[in-house]
Chains A and B, each alone.
Chain A
Amino acid sequence: MSRRQVPGPDQPAARRLRPISRTLPLKLPSLGVLFLWAVVPLVMTLWFSFQRYNLLNPGERGFARLENYRFLLTDPGLARALINTLLLVGGVLAVTVVGGTLLAVLFDQSFFGRGVARILVIAPFFVMPTVSALIWKNMLMDPVNGVLAFLMRLVGLGPIDWFARAPLAAIVIIVAWQWLPFALLVLLTALQSLDSESREAARLDGAGPIASFLFITLPHLRRAIGVVIMIETIFLLMVFAEIFVTTAGGPGLATTNLAFLIYRFALLDFDIGVASAGGILAIVLANVVAVFLIRSVARNLEA
Chain B
Amino acid sequence: MKKALRDKSLFTMAAWPVALVMFFPIFWMLLSGFKTEVEAVSSPPRLVFQPTLENYAAVWQRADYVRHAANSVIISLGSTLLALALALPAAYAMAFFPTRRTKNALLWMLSTKMLPPVGALVPIYLLFRDLGLLDKRLGLLAVYTLVNLPIVVWMLFAFFKDVPREVLEAARMDGAGPAREMLNLLLPLSLPGIASTALLAVILAWNESFWSLNLTAAKAAPLTAFMASFSSPEGLFWAKLSAASTMAIAPIVVFGWLSQRQLVRGLTFGAVK
* Chain A contact residues, CB within 8 Å of chain B: 2-6, 19-20, 22-23, 25-27, 29-31, 33-34, 37-38, 40-42, 44-45, 48, 103, 106-107, 109-114, 116-132, 134-140, 144-147, 149-150, 177, 180-182, 185-186, 189-190, 193, 223-224, 227, 231, 234, 237-238, 240-241, 244-246, 258-259, 262-263, 266-267, 272, 275-276, 278-280, 282-283, 285-287, 289-290, 293-294, 296-298, 300-301
Whether A42 touches B22, Cβ cut-off 8 Å, given contacts A130-B227, A244-B228, A267-B214, is no
Q: How distant is A94 from chain B, measured CB to nearest CB, in Å?
A: 17
Chain B window 1-39, contacts with chain A (Cβ cutoff 8 Å), 1 for yes, 0 for no: 000000111011011101110110110110010000000
Interface of A is mostly: helix
User: Is the C-beta of B191 less than 8 angstroms from some C-beta in chain A?
Assistant: no
B264 within 8 A of A: yes
Find out whether the CB atom of A190 lies under 8 angstroms from the CB atom of B272.
yes
B11 touches A109 (CB 8 A): yes
Bound together, the chains give a CA A22 to CA B210 distance in angstroms of 38
**Quick check: B89 and A5 within 8 Å, CB to CB?**
no
- From A127, A278, A296, contact of B249 by CB (8 A): A127
Q: How far is the CB of B3 from chain A (nearest CB, A)?
A: 12
Say yes or no: A189-B272 contact (C-beta < 8 A), given A122-B256, A138-B241. Answer: yes
Quick check: A138 and B238 within 8 Å, CB to CB?
yes
Please tell me which one of the listed residues B26, B28, B119 contacts residue A280 in the complex, with CB atoms under 8 A apart.
B119
13 contacts between A and B (CB under 8 A): A4-B97, A30-B149, A33-B145, A111-B15, A120-B20, A122-B260, A125-B256, A126-B249, A131-B227, A279-B122, A282-B118, A285-B116, A294-B110
A109: which B residues are within 8 A, CB to CB? 7-8, 11, 15
For the complex of A and B, the 8 pairs showing the least CB-CB separation, nearest first, are A126-B256, A241-B209, A44-B123, A41-B120, A26-B89, A290-B114, A23-B93, A111-B11
Query: Is B218 an interface position by the 8 A CB rule?
Result: no
Contact of A180 with B22 at beta-carbon distance under 8 Å, contacts A109-B11, A111-B12, A128-B209 already known:
yes
Q: Does B53 contact A (CB under 8 A)?
A: no
Given known pairs A19-B97, A128-B224, A132-B25, the reply for A123 and B257 (CB within 8 Å) is: yes
Distance A138 CA – B22 CA, assembled complex (angstroms): 17
The reply on B107 being an interface residue by CB < 8 A is yes
Interface string of B137-157 (1 = CB under 8 A from A): 000000001100110010000
Q: Which residues of A contact B203 (CB under 8 A)?
A: 126
> Cβ of B94 and Cβ of A27 under 8 Å apart?
yes
A120 touches B210 (CB 8 A): no
Check B107 against A297 for contact (C-beta < 8 Å): yes
* Given A182-B267, A231-B268, 12 more pairs with CB closer than 8 A: A30-B87, A111-B11, A120-B23, A124-B22, A127-B26, A135-B29, A135-B242, A135-B245, A189-B272, A189-B273, A266-B125, A280-B119
Contact of B114 among A48, A112, A240, A289 (CB under 8 A): A289
Within 8 A of A (CB), among B102-144: 103, 105-107, 109-127
